[in-house]
Amino acid sequence: MSEDKEAQENELLALASIYDEEEFRQAESAQGGEIQLCLELPPDFKLVVKGEKTAEYNVCFLPPLVLNFELPADYPSTSPPIFSLSSKWMTKAQLSSLCLHLDELWEENRGFEVLFTWIQFLKEETLDFLSIQSPLELNRSSSKGLGERRKTDPAAKAGAQCVSQSEKPEEKKPEVNKEISEQHFSSSTQLDPRAVVLMDPHSDPLPQLLDFDEGQRQRAFDSKVFCCGICFSDKLGSNCLCFKGCQHVYCKVCMAEYFQIQIRDGNVQCLNCPEPECTSLATPSQVKQLVDDELFARYDRLLLQSSLDLMADVVYCPRQSCGTAVMVEPDTTMGICSVCQYAFCTLCKLGYHGVSHCKITADDLRNIRDEYLSSTSEGQKFMEQRFGKRVVQKAVEESFSRDWLKENCKCCPRCGTNIQKVDGCNKMTCTSCKQYFCWLCLGVLSKVNPYSHFNNPHSPCYNQLFHGVDVDEDEFWSDEED
């Protein structure tokens, strides 16, 4: 018994010296403990989610296998360790197969310490032993679906949700022999009570697996040393920031100063990787780690505003005291502010005027027209969604009309009606109020003798009756002609 006790103490001491506190925890009240074993996944290992839509995820780490054990007083001379094996992603059938193999390893090494042999097998050979390959299928089912599967599927009946690509459930066979050394069963024919599935069958395992993978990646990153691409200092990963899109690494001191300058200048869309021509952006969580609360609040507000600006169905209340973002229904030009209840036209930003024309200047219409005509098809579609297709087209047509009127017409000096001069002399008659006026200076002409304006030497249009007009030599106009 003293030899067994000494062997146990030596084995536990060796495990404590090989593995850190997170991997191996020795029990306080008994000769035993808990070992967490992260399997060594091959490069580019993938999870495939089967459900309504198939999705694929790259993972570097999966939650560990957990080996809980207790050493009997007559271990290792006579009895094997008492143990249980648990996992968050394996099926109970797979864990049962591993438990059986651990029993077989004990039979091969009976009388000797076996814990390290077990650990090496679980850590290095589990994937090959269970024929688990990439991609690893992950079945995401509702609670109802799981209940239906548990009636017929042995793996589901055990609360399993993850199965390897090669695993196929078989019909359960009756137990033949209770002696462990004589049991020979596959992972799908008998379930071992020492196999424990830690995943709730009613929960979605994917978020937990991805969170664990991200946490382990961060731990691995924090322990490495990187050279900052800005200050060229070597620093631990825990003092660095890694852009997720490109994996470029810079120290947090340089990035904090860079972020602060950009946010103060309002360039919240420019918090990208400093590497030339790299377009990877920092995530909001990374920004929050490196700037104070006041700057992050400004960053968050400006980021929301810039995102809203890109949305075709969002405009802002034109009241300077408000400025609230307003959702606009498709194919309409009316916006109603939810804060101040102001109803406005999304095109001219004045009070909503229904089907009446917008009271905007020709320059504003011209700007809308120029922007629309110079935009890409996507840009034009955006403007049509924002202002309404009919309104944009009407703005374009009206702007062209105003440009044409400005180039080809003049306003009557009495009533303001647009008058086009097709031919004839410079004495014009308004088609609306019948007023005579001069085409050159827009002066009002006498009803009795309108041509005297062109015959008076003191008139600015003296002798300019036919200025700019091609006149036949045979034609003659007298001052008395009306």
2-208 adopts what CATH topology? Ubiquitin Conjugating Enzyme (3.10.110)
What residue ranges in 95-186 does DSSP mark as E strands?
Answer: 136-139, 162-163
Residue type, 75: Y
How many Å apart are CA 125 and CA 128, to the nearest integer? 5
What are the Cα distances from residue 252, in Å, to 94, 209, 241, 272, 276? Answer: 44, 28, 6, 14, 19
CA distance 390 to 388: 6
pTM exceeding the 0.85 threshold for the entire prediction: no
First to last CA, the chain: 139
* Three-class SS state of 139: strand
pLDDT (0 to 100) of residue 98: 93
User: How far apart are the C-alpha atoms of 28 and 115, rounded to whole Å?
Assistant: 18
CATH fold of the domain at 225-308: Herpes Virus-1 (3.30.40)
d(CA 356, CA 353): 6
Query: Which part of the chain is CATH 3.30.40.10?
Result: 225-308
H or E element that contains 107: helix 92-108
Q: Where in the chain is the domain with CATH 3.10.110.10?
A: 2-208
Strands 136-139, 225-227: pairing is unpaired
Q: Which helix (H) or strand (E) holds 128?
A: helix 126-129
What does the pLDDT profile of the chain (482 residues) look like in tens digits? Answer: 588 889 989 999 999 899 888 889 888 877 889 999 888 888 888 888 776 777 788 888 889 999 999 999 899 999 999 999 999 888 889 999 999 999 999 999 988 999 999 999 998 899 889 888 888 887 654 333 333 333 334 433 333 334 333 343 444 333 333 333 333 344 344 788 998 888 777 777 788 888 888 888 888 888 889 999 889 989 898 999 998 888 899 999 999 998 988 888 887 777 888 888 888 888 888 888 888 988 888 888 887 777 666 555 778 888 888 888 888 877 777 888 988 988 888 777 788 887 776 666 656 666 777 777 788 887 777 666 655 566 677 667 776 766 677 777 888 888 888 888 877 888 888 888 888 899 889 898 888 888 888 888 888 998 888 887 765 544 444 444 44
What is the C-alpha to C-alpha distance for residues 421 and 124, in angstroms, rounded to an integer?
95
- Mind listing the pLDDT tens digit for each residue in 221-269? 888 899 998 899 898 989 999 988 888 999 999 999 989 888 888 877 7
Active site residues: 425
- State the fold for domain 314-408: N-terminal domain of TfIIb (2.20.25)
| CATH 2.20.25.20 segments of the chain | 314-408
The CA distance from 428 to 420, in Å, is 10
- Angle (CA) 270 275 277, round 5°: 75
